[in-house]
Amino acid sequence: MKILIIEDEKPAYERLSKMLKEYDSEIIDLGNLTGINNSINWFAKNKQPDLILLDIQLSDGLSLEIFSKVKITCPVIFTTAYDEYILDAFNYNGIDYLLKPIKIEKLFSALNKYKNLKEHFAQDYFSIFNKLTQTDKTYKERLTVKTGSEFISIGIDDAAYFVSEYKLVFLVTCAGKKYSYDKNLSQLEDELDPKKFFRVNRNYIISINSIKSFKPFFKGKLLIEILPSSKEKIFISQEKASKFKEWLEK
C-alpha cells in the first residue's frame, strides 16, 4: 500500500510515518508534502497513491484548495486539529476524519476501514469509490455582503473581482462598488464556479467577464488589466500563466 502524507509540521509527519509502519511494515511511505503548491506539482508528475493522509490547515492555506486544481481519484483520511471542516472533507474523497493529536487506535481504525472497503469491492473498488464520492457540486449564485451597518444580497454575475486587503476581503462589483465579505479567499475560491472565476494570485480572484486585457511581463509573468480598474497592478506568476490562458479559452 502506497501512502502519501501531506503535513506541514515535521514532528507530526514523523509520528504518522512511524504509526503507519507499526500498522504494516510493508506500507510504502511516499514521503511528505508540506504545502498546497508543492502538492499540486507532485500530483502533476506522479501517479496517484493508494491513500492520502491530508492535514487540512497547511502553512499556505487550506489543503482543500488542492482538489480544485487536481483531480484526486484515491481515498483520503483527513488529519486536523479543527473539526469545522468535517462536512467539507467528505465531499473530497474523505473516508475518515482524525482530530489531532491522533491516537494510534484511531489511525488503525481508519486504515482498517480503507482495507475493508477495498476488499469488499475487490477489483472494482476505485471505480465504485469514485462514483460514490462524486457529487454534483453547486456554486454560489448570490453573496451576502456588508455595506455600513447593513447587509445586502448581490448576484454572482455582478461580481467583478474579490480582493484581500489588510487581512480583509472585499467584493468589487462590475459597477465599481466595494463591499466587505466575511470569508477568506481560499474559502471563497472553493464556493465559486471555476469556469467563471480564477485565483490569479494570493490577493485576487477575478471574474472572466472583468478581464479587459493581459500582456507578458518580466520573467514570464502576465500583467492583467481588469474593469473596473484595481488600485494596484495585478500580476500572474509564470507558474500560473499557462493555466490562466487555458481557463480563458475554455
Q: Do domains 2-133 and 156-249 have the same CATH topology?
A: no
- Looking at domain 156-249, its CATH architecture is Beta Barrel (2.40)
Q: How far apart are CA 185 and CA 245, in angstroms?
A: 21
How many CB atoms are located within 10 Å of the residue 20 CB? 21
Task: State whether CATH 3.40.50.970 applies to domain 2-133.
Answer: no
Where do the structural domains in the chain lie, given as residue ranges? 2-133, 156-249
Model pLDDT, residue 137 = 66
Contact 46/6 with Cβ under 8 angstroms?
no
- DSSP 3-state helix, strand, coil percentages of the chain (rounded to 5)? 35, 35, 30
- How far apart CA 10 and CA 41 sit, in angstroms, is 20
Query: What is the amino acid identity at position 153?
Result: S
Q: How confident is the prediction along the chain (250 residues), in pLDDT tens digits per residue? A: 899 999 999 999 999 999 999 999 999 999 899 999 999 999 988 989 999 999 988 888 888 889 888 888 889 999 888 777 776 767 788 888 898 889 999 999 999 999 888 776 554 555 555 555 555 568 889 999 988 888 999 999 999 999 999 889 999 999 999 999 988 888 888 889 999 999 999 899 999 999 999 999 988 899 999 999 998 999 999 888 988 999 998 7
Alpha-helical (H) ranges within the chain are 10-23, 36-45, 66-69, 86-89, 104-121, 125-133, 185-191, 238-249
SS (H, E, C) 102-147: CCHHHHHHHHHHHHHHHHHHHHHHHHHHHHHHCCCCCCCCEEEEEE
Cβ(217)–Cβ(181) below 8 Å: no
The C-alpha atoms of residue 54 and residue 94 are separated, in whole angstroms, by 10
- Indicate yes or no: pTM above 0.95: no
Q: How far apart are the first and last CA of the chain?
A: 37
